[in-house]
Amino acid sequence: MICQLNSVEEYLTMYGELVTMVYMNVNMDQLGVITQTHYHGSKARAKKIIQERLKIYNKDYNFTFARISIKDLKSRWGSCSARKNLNFHYKLLFLPIELLDYIVVHELCHLVEMNHSHRFWQLVRRTIPDYKKRIFHLRKIEREMQGLKKR
């Protein structure tokens, strides 16, 4: 069963050991200007949550991957390398949990389909049937973030 949550904050509340971590409630204005101190703390929390979400979703897929990295990616939320390394942007921590889950599943599916073919989207649909709605929501957030960078 896949855990349906509304936000990363709710996730932190539900999972015992993560409750002790300080959750940084960042609004859209703050998302564009994270300090180095916030970056390192956010990176660690993002890795913990992404590992947990990968574990949940990979129960259905049973794919193997080499490594998980959390980075300050410049133009994407995540990537999957030919060496089966999964890379994620630390700012996933600040997205609604359903968008984080979509990105986790998207990169997980690239382990088998290194493209955006019909087969790839069928794999994504297996656990995220409303993936198109989530992509729409994610693009809206990206446009808002671009607007912040231009200020």
Q: pTM score > 0.85 for this model?
A: no
The arithmetic mean of pLDDT across residues 40-68, rounded, is 93
CB atoms within 10 A of CB 142: 12
In terms of pLDDT, which residue wins out, 110 or 38?
Answer: 110
Return all residues near 47 (Cβ < 8 A) that are at least 6 apart: 68, 70
Q: Tell me the fold of 8-149.
A: Zincin-like (3.30.2010)
Q: Which helix (H) or strand (E) covers residue 30, if one does?
A: helix 28-31
Amino acid at 118: H
Q: Quickly count helices (H) and strands (E) in the chain.
A: 7, 3
Tokens of 2: 């896949």
pLDDT at 147: 72
Q: pLDDT digit string (tens) for 111-130? A: 999 999 999 999 999 999 99
For the chain, the structural domain boundaries read 8-149
Q: pLDDT digit string (tens) for 103-113? A: 999 999 999 99
Q: Quote the CA–CA distance of 145 and 141 in Å, as a whole number.
A: 6
Q: Quote the CA–CA distance of 55 and 36 in Å, as a whole number.
A: 29
pLDDT at 14: 46
